[in-house]
Amino acid sequence: MAYPDVSPPDERNSSKPPPKCSSKRRHKPIESPRPKPDQPETKPKITPIIPSAGKSDQPLPKDNGGNSKPAKYQGSGGDNVQSRQGNEADQRKGLELLNVIRQEVNLPPLKFSATLELAALRHSQYQLSINNMTHDDPIGGLGVRARKSGFQGGTLAENVAFGQRDEESVMQSWKKSPGHYKNMINPTYTHVGLAKVSGYWTQFFGRSSGNK
């Protein structure tokens, strides 16, 4: 999706100076003043205008981005925040579709993780708040975000997407992308959480011996 850079039109002062007016009045004759010696022409001072440098636009990730209305970012919050609050994704359906893809390559199914769902939800909320799809997050990297959401484990990965209408659509989009598909069929991971907030999808993978 293109992001046109709409610049304001160049407004130049095209107004002409007002015409000079003349009127005839009768005056008593007066003595003409003596001409003064020619004064050197004074040139107006010109102050150079230096344009200030603006921030350059950062390229979007290779995934397709899009526009959406920004929302308030909930941040890291407390661990007592319910993970499903504000999550538009159907966890059961998303998990079933993902495990079908893994079954195609003879991999064991992943388990649902409420803590990884919370990490995914917070990241989808952040993407919406900045109106951009990204893997960056002010909370920190994948490990920091997983720990702050209560996940006890390691070996993490993340898929993001924007604009897919439902779980089937987003799973197929990720499956067609080699990098995302590699995460989906990685035998290392044991758990997953999925979140969607106003079109911003996040899929968070992790490995854990527990059931979180």
Residue 23 predicted with pLDDT over 50: no
pLDDT for 40: 52
Q: Return d(Cα 191, Cα 201) in angstroms, integer.
A: 17
**How large a percentage of the chain has pLDDT more than 70?**
59
Nearest CA to 149 out of 106, 89, 193 is that of: 193
Residue 85: per-residue pLDDT: 77
User: In the sheet that 111-112 helps form, which strands lie side by side, from edge to edge?
Assistant: 111-112, 191-197, 200-207, 154-162
Q: Is the pLDDT of residue 9 over 80?
A: no
165 pLDDT band (50/70/90 cuts)?
Answer: very high
Q: pLDDT, tens digit, for every residue of 73-99? A: 333 333 434 557 789 999 999 999 999
Contact (CB, 8 A) for 192 and 203: yes
Strand (E) positions, 95-208?
A: 111-112, 154-162, 191-197, 200-207
Q: What is the mean pLDDT of the chain?
A: 72
